[in-house]
Amino acid sequence: MAFDSLTDKLQNVFKNLRSKGKLTEDDVKAALREVKLALLEADVNFRVVKQFVKDVQERAIGQDVMNGLNPGQMVIKIVNEEMVKLMGSETTELAYRPGQQITIVMMCGLQGAGKTTTTAKLAGKMKLKGKNPLLVACDVYRPAAVEQLKVNGEKQGVEVFSMGTGHSPVDIAKAAVEHANKNGNHVVILDTAGRLHVDETMMEELKAIKEQVDVAQTLLVVDAMTGQDAVNVASTFEEEIGIDGVMLTKLDGDTRGGAALSIRAVTGKPILFAGMGEKLSDLEQFYPERMASRILGMGDVLTLIEKAQDSIDEEKARDMEKRFKKAEFSFDDYLESMNQMKKLGGLSSVLSMMPGVNASQLGDIESAMDDKKMRRIEGIIYSMTPQERANPNILNPSRKQRIAKGAGVDIAEVNRLVKQFEQARKMMKQMPNMMGKRGRGRKGM
Which residues define the annotated binding site?
109-116, 191-195, 249-252
Q: How far is the CB of 259 from ligand GDP (least distance, A)?
A: 12
The answer to whether 245 touches 92, Cβ cutoff 8 Å, is: yes
Alpha helices by DSSP H, 273-410: 288-295, 301-311, 314-325, 331-343, 346-351, 359-368, 371-382, 386-390, 397-407
Is residue 153 a contact point for ligand GDP (CB under 6 A)? no
Q: Which of 68, 253, 379, 406 binds ligand GDP (CB under 6 A)?
A: 253
Q: Which is nearer to ligand GDP, 159 or 282 (CB)?
A: 282
Query: What secondary structure does DSSP assign to 73-111, as a single string?
Result: HHHHHHHHHHHHHHTTSSPPPP-PPSTTPPEEEEEEE-T
Is residue 249 a contact point for ligand GDP (CB under 6 A)? yes
Residue 307 to residue 318: CA distance in whole angstroms: 16
The two beta strands, 283-285 and 271-275, are: antiparallel
Q: How far is the CB of 253 from ligand GDP (least distance, A)?
A: 5
The answer to whether 32 touches 82, Cβ cutoff 8 Å, is: no
Q: Residues comprising the binding site for GTP?
A: 109-116, 191-195, 249-252
Is residue 346 a contact point for ligand GDP (CB under 6 A)? no
The answer to whether 140 touches 149, Cβ cutoff 8 Å, is: no
Is residue 250 a contact point for ligand GDP (CB under 6 A)? yes
Q: How far is the CB of 251 from ligand GDP (least distance, A)?
A: 6
Is residue 277 a contact point for ligand GDP (CB under 6 A)? yes
Beta strand segments in 224-377, E: 245-249, 271-275, 283-285
Is residue 194 a contact point for ligand GDP (CB under 6 A)? yes
The residue range among 88-96, 275-283, 401-409, 424-432 that interacts with ligand GDP, by the rule CB under 6 A, is: 275-283
The residue range among 80-88, 246-254, 342-350, 412-420 that interacts with ligand GDP, by the rule CB under 6 A, is: 246-254
Is residue 278 a contact point for ligand GDP (CB under 6 A)? yes
The answer to whether 262 touches 39, Cβ cutoff 8 Å, is: no
Q: What residue number has its CB nearest to ligand GDP? A: 275
Number of H helices, E strands in the chain: 21, 8
Residue 177 to residue 419: CA distance in whole angstroms: 60
Is residue 192 a contact point for ligand GDP (CB under 6 A)? no
Query: Which parts of 254-273 interact with ligand GDP (CB under 6 A)?
Result: none
Is residue 125 a contact point for ligand GDP (CB under 6 A)? no
Residue 79 to residue 406: CA distance in whole angstroms: 56
Q: Which is nearer to ligand GDP, 227 or 277 (CB)?
A: 277
Binding mask 99-118 for ligand GDP (x = CB under 6 A): ----------x-xxxxxxxx
Reference 247, options 218, 226, 227; nearest CA is: 218
Q: Which is nearer to ligand GDP, 119 or 330 (CB)?
A: 119
Residue 272 to residue 224: CA distance in whole angstroms: 14
Q: How far is the CB of 421 from ligand GDP (least distance, A)?
A: 34
Which residues contact ligand GDP (rule: CB under 6 A)? 109, 111-118, 194, 249-250, 252-253, 275-278, 282
